[in-house]
Amino acid sequence: MEFNVLIVGLGKIGMGYDLDLDHDEYVYSHAAAFSQHKGFNIVGGVDVDTKLGKTFEERYNSEFYGNIQEALQKHHPDIVVIATSTQFHNQTLKDIAKYSKPKVVLCEKPLSYRVEEAYSMQKLCKDNGIQLFVNYMRNSTPDSIEIKDKINSNEYAGSLKGVVWYSKGLVHNGSHFVNLLTYWLGPIKESCCISKGPLLDKQNIEPDFSLTFEKGKVVFLSTQEENFSNYAVELVFENGRLRYERGGREVYWTSVQQDENLSTHKFLSKDDGNYNADSMSKYQLHVVNELWNMLNQENYELCSGAMAIATLESINEIVKECK
């Protein structure tokens, strides 16, 4: 069975990130990901930019529309991807529910800037029989799924403390790691602002803060994107250390070993090796694979609308504390 897909928004995540890359090596966009999976058929793309539309038609041999209503009414797709700017997510979803009722909406993060609006979007989907997912793609990569399984099985065991480094703001980039740590460590029990940091725009700040999750406490520290992008996680368990470097491009587990000379001392060994090396090079394809599993009633790992709203609530609480 093949599922029809409509992509609304043909910018960077919609199509642009990997436009000039080898798709055998890198899959960063929705268009590339759905085009590579045999279970999906891209029936169209929607954008206000006709230049993007021409590129989309040439590259993906699919129809371009400048109007979402026309695209929805012509194709009635099974899946609609919302890859527009955040401020347009709500209206785009209203149009989707009005003109066509797909099985699934996959929306870019954040779902909304406002919690109330996000809840309204979730209700609209529920009322129209649409399953809502949000594209926090790290939840769907093989290494993240394996890490979650090892934490849940106590292979990575005991009390936990951690540090996250992030840049380019809390709402858009830091939220990725708030969401990922919630996926690994369970619900957030407490938040605490350490330092307000700079105000980047009306919706985005760069604070230092701590979050206490169900399974441990993690400190988030911001760095300046203008110097370099910095996305890293270090989690220290009783029996070893997990390092999630360069946004997930390199992931290492380091176990504990007895010192060969001092019987009373234990140290971390050398890294036990990298996790799946292509997890982040094909992150969007992993999301599509998990979506396929969901549609075929198999086990899947995707960020639900409810989980994305929980992340948004936590982010907004941190912003409130730090402003």
- Looking at residue 103, which CATH number applies to its domain? 3.40.50.720
48 and 131 in a single domain? The answer is yes
Asked whether residue 49 is domain-assigned, the answer is: yes
169 and 257 in a single domain? The answer is yes
pTM of the model: 0.94
What stretches in the chain show pLDDT beneath 50?
A: none
* Cβ pair 251, 244 in contact under 8 A: yes
- Candidates 294, 275, 296, 307; CA nearest to 142 is 275
Asked whether residue 71 is domain-assigned, the answer is: yes
Q: Residue 206 is encoded by which pair of tokens?
A: 């760069």
Q: What is the pLDDT of residue 221?
A: 96
Asked whether residue 315 is domain-assigned, the answer is: no
Asked whether residue 311 is domain-assigned, the answer is: no
Asked whether residue 164 is domain-assigned, the answer is: yes
Q: What is the pLDDT of residue 224?
A: 82
Q: What is the pLDDT of residue 171?
A: 86
Q: How many domains does the chain have?
A: 2
Give me the DSSP letters along 17-59.
TTTTS-TTT---SHHHHHHH-TTEEEEEEE-S-HHHHHHHHHH
Q: What is the pLDDT of residue 1?
A: 80
Q: What is the pLDDT of residue 222?
A: 93
Query: How many CB atoms neighbour CB 85 within 10 A?
Result: 10
256 and 202 in a single domain? The answer is yes
147 and 262 in a single domain? The answer is yes
Query: How many CB atoms neighbour CB 210 within 10 A?
Result: 19
| Structural domain that includes position 164 | 142-276
Query: What CA–CA distance (Å, rounded) separates 255 from 320?
Result: 39
DSSP state for residue 271 in the 8-state scheme: -
148 and 131 in a single domain? The answer is no
Burial of 294 (0-12, 13-18, 19+ CB in 10 A): middle
83 and 157 in a single domain? The answer is no
pLDDT digits (tens, 9 = 90+) for 124-183: 999 999 999 999 999 999 999 999 999 999 999 888 999 999 998 898 889 999 999 999
- Looking at residue 214, which CATH number applies to its domain? 3.30.360.10
150 and 264 in a single domain? The answer is yes
Q: Is 316 helix (H, G, I), strand (E, B) or coil?
A: helix
How many residues comprise the chain?
A: 323
49 and 122 in a single domain? The answer is yes
Asked whether residue 125 is domain-assigned, the answer is: yes
